[in-house]
Amino acid sequence: MISILARERLLGAALGGMLAGAIVLEERKRIYRSISNDRSRLAAQAQKSEPIFGKEFRSEFAHLWNKSVDRTLGPVIEYLSSRGW
């Protein structure tokens, strides 16, 4: 027969193992939940954020591009216009 002391140790080990298992399980749930929350928050943030080159930058760039093309090709266009093209 198992002595009382051995039974107490066995019971303590079983209860300790169950407690440790419950703690590990709860921590895993928290970790998975936080990962899920972070992913959904990042996805929502990515949809809200403007691209690297926003609308304002693109319109300013287009304006500067058109201005530089006009300055560069302006004399050629004037020449061709005077020739009847």
On the CB side of 26, how many CA atoms lie within 13 Å of its CA? 6
Domain co-membership, 13 together with 39 = yes
**Rounded percentage of the chain residues whose pLDDT exceeds 90:** 39
pLDDT level of residue 50 (50, 70, 90 thresholds)? low
Domain co-membership, 26 together with 63 = no
Domain co-membership, 58 together with 79 = yes
pLDDT tens, position by position, 33-46? 998 888 888 777 76
Domain co-membership, 5 together with 32 = yes
Distance CA 46, CA 15 (A): 46
Q: How many domains does the chain have?
A: 2
Domain co-membership, 5 together with 44 = yes
Domain carrying residue 29: 1-49
Distance CA 27, CA 20 (A): 11
pLDDT tens, position by position, 52-74? 777 888 889 999 999 999 899 88
| pLDDT reported for residue 46 | 67
Domain co-membership, 29 together with 59 = no
Q: Which residues contact 53 (CB under 8 A, 6 or more apart)?
A: 61
Domain co-membership, 36 together with 64 = no
Rounded mean pLDDT of the chain? 86
Domain co-membership, 32 together with 69 = no
Mean pLDDT of 22-49: 85
Q: Quick check: 15 pLDDT over 90? A: yes
